[in-house]
Amino acid sequence: MSAQLAIDVRGMTKAFSGRTVVNGIDMQVRTGKICGFLGPNGSGKTTFIRMLCGLLKPDGGSGTCLGHDVITGSEAIRKEAGYMTQRFSFYEDMSIAENLDFVARMFSVPDRRNAVEKSLEDLGLAGRRTQLAGELSGGWKQRLALAACLIHKPRLLLLDEPTAGVDPKARREFWDKIHALAEEGLTVLVSTHYMDEAEKCHTLAYLAYGNLLAHGAPKEIAGDATLEEVFIRLMVGTQDNFEP
């Protein structure tokens, strides 16, 4: 793998009950870049992300993630990646600080107390440290989830629709943070349904029915059209060829 590529995989494939949900996908993402992952529900985005971070074993394909083999190095990848799922998955009867401390324990973070304090400060959570996670609004839950993803200082963030159901202000603040992290060298793969978020990514990958239909910089993909127009054309052009 080139040192400039955080993700470099080819032919990634996964099937469930005889149905292929990720079909031979090739993808490269440069270190320190934000790659937007787009496509309709059921297109294979979540499955691909879970294969990258070692939670699912591919049925086929090869390559590296953070320099580790995606087939044999899943444990090493999990230690160096932060994965934010679609669903809020923290203990709602524990405080923000307690949840972060729990995650820090899971990753054996050194100097755990200071790591939790820094995480609270970095994500603007210090004033709510004792608030129960179950009492948080969508935007504050999002901040907690991002703080938990970052507490072990990962080299790669895998974000699965992180802004779904979040108000516009929280979305803007979230993306400001993501760009700041990328400028520091963190690589981000983020799935989204929002075209305004897609335009903020350095590169985009569009999936439908498990197939990668487009991959490149937003302007390279769209040309003189809008991204939404391009993706509608891609979907219409594939409906007769692939079964949903």
Q: Return the number of other C-beta atoms located less than 10 Å from residue 19's C-beta.
A: 9
Domain borders along the chain are 5-88+151-238
Residue among 118, 28, 114 nearest 70 (CA): 28
What's this model's pTM, rounded to 2 decimal places? 0.89
211 pLDDT higher than 50:
yes
Q: Which residues contact 233 (CB under 8 A, 6 or more apart)?
A: none
Q: Give the model confidence (pLDDT) of 5-46 as tens digits.
A: 999 999 999 999 999 999 999 999 999 999 999 988 888 999
Chain centre to alpha carbon of residue 62: 20
Token look-up 């202000």 returns: 169
Q: Which pLDDT score is estimated for 47? A: 95
99 pLDDT higher than 50:
yes
Mean of per-residue pLDDT scores for the chain: 89
What six digits make up the tokens of 108?
Answer: 């054996």
Q: What are phi and psi of 8, to 5 degrees?
A: -150, 90
Could you say which of 3.40.140.10, 3.40.50.300, 1.10.10.10, 3.40.640.10 is the CATH number of the domain covering 5-88+151-238? 3.40.50.300
